[in-house]
Structure 1
Amino acid sequence: MLHDMQRVLATYWKQFLYLTPKLAIALVIILLALTFANRVSKLLGARVRNHSDDLLLADFLIQLSKWVFVLAGFLLALQIIGFSGVVTGMLSAVGLSAFIVGFAFKDIAENFLAGVILAFNRPFQIHDTVEVKGLQGHVEALNLRTTIIKTFDGKHIYLPNSVVLKEPLTNFTRDGSIRQDFLLSVDYGQDSGPEKVIALILQQVERTQGVQTQEPRTPYILQEKATGTTIDLRVYFWTLSEDYRRVVMELKSNLMQQTRTTLQQAGYALPNAAQ
C-alpha cells in the first residue's frame, strides 16, 4: 500500500513538473492581459469621453472593452495549459453570450445584459436625478453589473441592473424643467375675494428667482376647496431640474415661506401651514 501511494505521488509530481512551465506562462499571459486591458481602457476612455456627448454609454463601452481583453487573455491561458477542448466548447456553443450564461451565474449574466440595454436605451445620464423602488438620488455610474445611485444624504446605493431595467424608473431631470406645487389655505375675509389673493400669490411666485415665467411653463393657481371665507389654493410653478435637490427642492421651500410671509404682511390669515 505504501508503495502504491509513493507511485501515485511520484506520478502527480511528474505531472506537476510537466505543467509548471505552462502554468507560469499562463499566469504571465493573464497578468499581461490585465495590464494591457487597463492601459487600453485608459487610452480609449480619454479619447471616447472627449468625442462623445453620452458619458454613460462611453463609460459602459470602455468597461466592456476592458473585460473583453481580460477574457481573451484568460482563454489563451487555458489553451496553453492544455484545456483547448474546454475553450473550443465554450466558444462553439452559441457565441459569447451563451458562454457568459453558461460560465457565470444566472444573475450576473442577467445584470450584464440589462446593463447593455440600459447603456444603449439610455433612460438616464450621469448625474441625472432618478427614483427607483422608492430610492432617489443622482446617477453616479453604470457598471457591468450594477447602477450606482448617490442619495441626497451622501449614501451610495448599488442597484442590480436587472432591477433598474424591470422596475418603473422616474427621471426628474431628463426634460430639463420640472413642475412643482404646494397647497395654501387662506382666509381672505369678508371685505375681499379670492381673486385678489390669487393675484397676490401669482405676483410673488413670478418675481421669485428660479421660477420660469415663459409660455407654456407659466405659474398658475387652482382652487381645490372653499369653506366660508377660507379657500384652499394649489400653486403650480416650473423650474430648471438640472440640480434637483438645490434648485428644485430648496426653491419650493423658499417659495412656500415667501408666499406665506407676503400674504401675512398683506393682512390675510393662514389657517393651516403650506403643504
Structure 2
Amino acid sequence: MIDELNEVLIDYWHQFVHLLPKLFIALIVLAIGLAIANHVSQLLGSRLRKRSHDALLANFLTNFTRWALLLMGVLLAMHVLGLSGVASGMLAGAGLSAFIVGFALKDIAENFLAGVVLAFNRPFRIHDTVQVKDLMGEVEALNLRTTLIKTFDGKHIFLPNALVLREPLTNYTRDGFIRQDFLISVDMGTETTSDRIEEMLLKYVSSHKGVETRDPHTPYIIVEKMGTTSADLRIYLWAYSEEYRRGTLELKSDLLKGSKAMLVAEGYVVSGAN
C-alpha cells in the first residue's frame, strides 16, 4: 500500500512539474489581467464622474467593468492551464443564468440599460430643469433604475429610466439661455407712436439684471395688434436659465410689473399685460 501511495504521489509530482510552466504563465496572465482591469476601470470611472456627475452610477459602472475584465483574465488563465472545458461550462452557466434572470427581471434590466445609455449620452445634467410628458422639475439624481426629479412645488418624482429615454424630453437649461416673452397693451393717445413706446420698453428691459443683451440674444419687440390709439406689443428676451425658477420665471414677472409701472409713470394707460 505504501508503494502504491508513493507511485501516486510521484505521478502527481510529475504532473505538477509538467504543469508548472503553464501555471507560471497563467499567474502572469492573471496579474496582467488584474492590472488592466484596475487601470481601465479607474480611467473609465474618472471620465464617468466628470461626465455624469453621479457618483452612484459611475461607481457601479466602474466596478462592473473591473469585475468583467477580471473574469476575462481568469477565463484566459484557465485556458492556458488547459481547463478550457471548465471555462466553457462557466460561460454557459453564466449565459443561462443571465437569460433566466433577465427574463424574470425584464423591467429592471430595461431601466438599468436605459440608465447606462443616459449616463453616456445624457440629455441633461444634475440640476437641469427638464420636462417629460407633463412632469416638470429639476433633475437631482440618475440612479440605477430611476431618474429623480424634484418639481417646483417640492415633490420628488422617480421616473423609470426607460421612460425618460423613450419619451420626448425638453431641457430648459442645457444651453444656459432661454427665451421668454410677455405682452403689453398700451393706449398711446393721439400724439405718440408705437416706436417711442418700443424704444422705452427695450431700454428698460435691456437694463434689467438677468436679461442677456449680446448678439444673438438681444431683446426685440413685435407689434401684434395696432389700433387707432392703442397697440399690443410683445417683448421677446433671453434670460440666463441656469436656475429656471429664478432665472426665468421670476425675471419675467419682474419685467412684466416693471414695464407696466414704467409706462404708467410716463403717463400712458396700460390696458393689459401678460
Q: TM (normalized to structure 1)?
A: 0.70
Name the counterpart of 2:266: 266
Does the 8 Å contact 1:108/1:145 carry over to 2?
A: yes
Q: Which runs of 5+ in 1 are unaligned?
A: 1-43, 72-85
Cα drift, residue 50 of structure 1: 9.7
Select between 244-253 and 58-67 the one with higher mean Cα deviation: 58-67
Shift of 1:218: 0.5
Partner of 1:91: 94
- Equivalent in the alignment of 1:35: none
Structure 2 residue matching 1:54: 3-state secondary structure? helix
Aligned to 2:59: 62
Q: Secondary structure at the match of 1:228?
A: coil
2:203 counterpart residue number: 203
Deviation per residue, 1:50-75 (Å, 9 max, x gap) = 9943234654231345678999xxxx
Match of 1:157 in 2: 157
Contact between 1:63 and 1:143, CA under 8 Å: does it hold in 2?
no
What residue in structure 2 maps to residue 81 of structure 1? none
Q: CA RMSD in A?
A: 3.1
Q: Show the counterpart of 2:102.
A: 101
Which has the higher mean CA deviation after the structures are superposed, 211-220 or 47-56? 47-56
2:178–2:239 contact (8 Å) kept in structure 1: yes
Determine if contact 1:114/1:165 at 8 Å carries over to the other structure. Answer: yes
Q: Which runs of 4+ in 1 moved over 2 A?
A: 47-53, 55-59, 63-71, 86-90
Give TM-score, length-normalised by structure 2. 0.70
Aligned-pair CA distance for 1:101: 1.8
For the residue of structure 2 that corresponds to 1:140, the secondary structure is strand
Count of residue pairs the alignment pairs up: 216
Provide the residue aligned with 2:3 in structure 1: none
In structure 2, list runs of 5 or more residues that go unmatched.
Answer: 1-40, 69-88
Letter in 2 for 1:119: A
* Cα contact 1:91–1:99 (8 A) shared by 2: no
Structure with greater Cα Rg = 2
One-letter identity of the residue aligned with 1:255 = L
Deviation at 1:92, TM superposition (A): 2.8
CA distance in 2, matches of 1:50, 1:89: 33
The one-letter code of the counterpart of 1:224 is: E
Kindly provide the CA deviation profile for residues 220-270 of structure 1, in whole angstroms up to 9, marking residues without a partner as x.
001111122221111011121111111211111101110000011111111
> Aligned equivalents of 2:113 and 2:46: distance in 1?
23
Counterpart position of 2:50: 53
